[in-house]
Amino acid sequence: MSELSDIQKLIRLKRYEQPPEGYFDDFLFEFQRRQRAEMLKRPLWQIVWERANLWLESFRVPAIAYASILVAAVGVTGVVVNSQNNASAVSGGIAAVNNPVVVSPAAPVGGQVAPASTSPHSYVLEKRPVSYDAPFSF
Amino acid sequence: MNEPLDPPDNVLVARTKEGDASAFDELVRRYSPRVYGLVYNMTSNHEETNDLLQDVFLKAFRSIRGFRGDSSFYTWIHTIAMNMTINFLKKRNRRRAMSLDDVDSHIENDPDYIEATATSDPRREANLGELQKRLNDAMQKLSHDHRAVVTMFDIQGMPHAEIAKILGISEGTVRSRLFYAHRQLQNYLEEFRGA
């Protein structure tokens, strides 16, 4: 018999260190009590989220359906945002036409730009888009 | 462990995922004795083992939806238990007193125990409590990693491959840790060794 296997035989005796009889029944009872207590302590949003998931699962909707809904939602959001941006750009353009921007022509390189009100020479730039002009004027 | 279980673990897991708490109760009934042995032999303290065991099964219950079944439930629950126990031991600064009066009385019929306590002089003098204390002391002197492999291999009789899966290491590492741990235990338990 080798020395190492003697050590193993001694260590194996530790398997007799067992909790008292009936311990595992009590353990299960205590586990169930803690399980219930934990479920009652859960935040409301978690319960609502889980219920919602269970409810959706009851329809047996395939995962691809969720993906399609998500893609559609992203698409609709994109269209709405885009149209809002266009609307603001158009209104900005109209405002620019009504209120022309005055720019000083002789801005010194590296120097300060004089205020428009004090500058004797100035140009008026109309921010009217070129496409608004008639294409051909004979 | 090798005999087929009825119902199989994967059926109980599936039922638990569907909300059947009694299915998880069956898993607790099935595995709590083995997981208890694992945790107890790492901590050498019944009270701490009890608390840890509750936490292990609660964590398993909370995480059961994430269990994909890539490994067996047996491996999964032992992995949770081992990770939680090692984390606990890292936090524990001092070794608590061990209860020495609750050894299963069947040990006195074990031939290894009879041999260990009746052959040579020091063994003749040894009693059950003393032997258990020496065994526990020796185990506690091992590092967590070495104690884990000794617990699973020597006490619980798990194969190397299963231990490797639970600890996330190679079988070679399991064998080398076992070899090193046995060498250390040899020194600690010198006087109880067989002739």
Domain CATH for B192: 1.10.10.10
- Of residues B111 and A95, the one with the higher pLDDT is B111
Instruction: Return all residues near A13 (Cβ < 8 A) that are at least 6 apart.
Output: B107, B110, B112, B113, B116, B131, B132, B135
Angle, nearest 10°, between helix axes B171-188 and B160-167?
100
How far apart (Å, rounded) are the C-alpha atoms in residues B144 and B101? 25
Would you tell me which residues 72-131 of chain A have a C-beta closer than 8 angstroms to some C-beta of chain B? none
Residues B90, B1, single domain; the answer is yes
B113 to chain A: closest CA residue: A13
| B1 and B84 inside one domain | yes
Domain assignment present for B100: no
A119-133, B30-44, B62-76: which has the minimum mean pLDDT? A119-133
Last residue of a domain, one of B35, B65, B95: B95
Q: Which of B47, B74, B95 is the last residue of a domain?
A: B95
Same domain, B54 and B113: no
User: Could you tell me the two tokens for B109?
Assistant: 């019929």
Distance from the Cα of A8 to chain B's closest Cα (Å) equals: 6
The enclosing domain of B68 has a CATH number of 1.10.1740.10
Separation of alpha carbons A60 and A89, rounded Å: 45
> Higher model confidence: residue B183 or residue A88?
B183
Last-in-domain residue among B95, B121, B141? B95
Specify whether B42 is located in the same domain as B91.
Answer: yes
**Mean of pLDDT over chain A:** 71
Q: How far is A30 from chain B (nearest CA, A)?
A: 8
Rounded to an integer, what distance in angstroms lies between the CA atom of residue B158 and that of residue B150?
10
CB of A37 less than 8 A from some CB of B: no
At residue B182, the 3 state secondary structure works out as helix
Instruction: Confirm whether B124 is domain-assigned.
Output: yes
A35 and B106 within 8 Å at the Cβ level: the answer is no
Note whether residue B17 is domain-resident.
Answer: yes
Residue B55 lies in a domain: yes
State phi, psi for B33 to the nearest 5 degrees.
Answer: -65, -40
Nearest to A15 among B37, B57, B61 (CB): B37
Does B39 lie in the same domain as B72? Answer: yes
**DSSP secondary structure code for residue B152 in this structure:** I
> Does the beta carbon of A26 lie under 8 angstroms from any beta carbon of chain B?
no
**Which residues, listed in sequence order, are joined to residue A101 by a DSSP beta bridge?**
A125
Same domain, B132 and B187: yes
Using the beta-carbon criterion (under 8 Å), do A16 and B53 form an inter-chain contact?
A: no
- Same-domain check for residues B110 and B68: no
Give the model confidence (pLDDT) of A9-30 as tens digits: 888 888 888 898 899 999 999 9
pLDDT at residue A123 above 80?
A: no
pLDDT, residue A134, reads 54
In this prediction, residue B101 has a pLDDT band, given cuts at 50, 70 and 90, of very low
With 0.80 as the threshold, say if the pTM is over it: no
Q: Which of B61, B102, B194 sits opposite A20 (nearest CB)?
A: B102
User: Both B74 and B136 in a single domain?
Assistant: no
Strand segments, DSSP code E, in chain A are 101-103, 123-125
B110 and B81 in a common domain: no
Q: Where are the alpha helices (DSSP H) in chain B?
A: 9-17, 21-43, 46-63, 73-91, 111-118, 121-125, 128-141, 144-150, 160-167, 171-188
How many Å lie between the alpha carbon of A89 and the closest alpha carbon of chain B?
A: 49
Which one of B79-93, B130-144, B178-192 scores highest in mean pLDDT? Answer: B79-93
The pLDDT of residue A2 is 59
Q: What is the distance, to the nearest Å, from the Cα of residue B66 to the centroid of all Cα atoms in its chain?
A: 24
Q: Say yes or no for a CB contact (<8 Å) between A13 and B156.
A: no
Flag whether B181 is in a domain: yes
How many structural domains comprise chain B? 2
A102 forms beta bridges with A124
CA dihedral B44, B49, B53, B54 (to 10 degrees): -170
Same domain flag for B109 and B194: yes
Q: Are residues B143 and B75 in the same domain?
A: no
pLDDT band for position A39 (cuts 50, 70, 90): confident
CB contact under 8 A, A14 and B139: yes
Quote the domain boundaries for residue B87: 1-95
Confidence class of residue B175 from pLDDT cuts 50, 70 and 90?
Answer: very high
pLDDT of res. A126:
56
Average model confidence (pLDDT) for chain B?
A: 84
Whether B180 and chain A come into contact, CB under 8 Å, resolves to no
Q: Is B187 exposed, middle or buried (0-12, 13-18, 19+ CB in 10 A)?
A: exposed
Domain shared by B187 and B115, yes or no: yes
Over residues A53-110, the pLDDT tens digits come to: 767 766 666 666 777 888 888 888 888 888 888 777 666 655 555 565 555 555 555 5
Residue B75 within any structural domain of the chain: yes
Tokens of B70: 């890539």
Q: Quick check: bond before A120 cis, omega within 30? A: no
> CA torsion B18→B21→B25→B28, rounded to 10°?
60
